Amino acid sequence: MNRWLLAARPKTLSAAVVPVLVGTAFAWGDLEPIDWLMFACALAGAMFIQIGTNFVNDALDFKKGADTAERLGPLRVTQAGLLSADAVLRGAYLCFALAALCGIPLMLRGGWPLLAIGVASIAAAYAYTGGPYPLAYNGLGELFVLIFFGFVAVGGSYYVQKLEMHPEVIVAGFAIGLLAIVLLAINNLRDIANDRVSNKRTLAVRFGETFARIEIAFCAFVPFICVAIIESLRGQRTVLLALLALPLAVAVVICAMRSRGAALNRCLAMAGALQWAFGLLLVIGLVL
């Protein structure tokens, strides 16, 4: 069981949980009653998709030679020989099937938009590392994260509650997606040498370390501009509580600017804390 927990990478689940919390909090802040079944299905579905993505990434990165004994990041179970690549892929397919089951009530409530979101999310989760044109290997990882862990997760969680959409929810999706990109960009910066060897052409590999650090700074700071935009659109000053996470964003950027190699794992942990802090403070601001 511990091997499967390692493969699931629970520390990455903020990328799935935070956007669902934020999207639901927008509906709660509108003084509407929350459909808790829809919330539970959206949250569980997002987590299953995230875990499934992690499983596919673990298995296929090993098969493609991107995960080797020289890996600087946290332990990967396939590379370490704790589980076979085929077993981990079967785990991924099970997670995607469970995500699809969670999506049935959402589809019944929200209709074809929720069906489209679910199908696209599961397909993209596999295509992130798998398929004929894996997104992560062709510099499209950031776009995938922004769309599915930002716009889709936040917007979809709101839409299934209210069956409508508002500009401030889209802005929030952009902000949350950027913070998820910070995690990915730090990973890619840390793994840049290995990725070059394995022909994994992330943006860090394509444009270099300086670009990757600028990308991290941009994605860490712009969400705080988004908070000001949300406040102006919504007229709700309490959302400015999210600005309290700004010092943590500064710390993440300083860490990324100064660290190299395995030392970036500390920056990665800080980036996860930033996503939690920003998201939860925004949720509190929305529901007050």
| pLDDT for residue 144 is more than 70 | yes
**Mean pLDDT calculated for residue range 63-88:** 76
Going 203 to 221 to 186 to 26, the CA torsion angle's sign is negative
**Mean pLDDT calculated for residue range 275-286:** 97
Of the pLDDT bands very low, low, confident and very high (cuts 50, 70, 90), residue 29 is confident
Rounded alpha-carbon distances, angstroms, from residue 130 to 37, 57, 61, 143, 245: 32, 8, 9, 16, 35
More confident call, 132 vs 157: 157
More confident call, 62 vs 192: 192
Of the pLDDT bands very low, low, confident and very high (cuts 50, 70, 90), residue 70 is low
Mean of all residue pLDDT scores within the chain: 92
Res 67: pLDDT: 59
The proportion of the chain whose per-residue pLDDT surpasses 70, expressed as a percent, equals 96
CATH class of domain segment(s) 2-287: mainly alpha
Which residues are within 8 A (CB) of 101 and not within 5 positions of it... i.e. 6 or more apart?
none
Of the pLDDT bands very low, low, confident and very high (cuts 50, 70, 90), residue 73 is low
The reported pTM is 0.93
Query: What SS3 state is found at 85?
Result: helix
Is the separation of the CB atoms in 252 and 220 below 8 Å? yes
The DSSP element (H or E) to which 59 belongs, if any, is helix 36-63
The highest-confidence range among 76-90, 173-187, 188-202, by mean pLDDT, is 173-187
| pLDDT for residue 44 is more than 70 | yes
End-to-end Cα distance, the chain: 40
**CA 144 – CA 128 distance, rounded (Å):** 7
**CA 76 – CA 60 distance, rounded (Å):** 11
Domain layout of the chain by residue ranges: 2-287
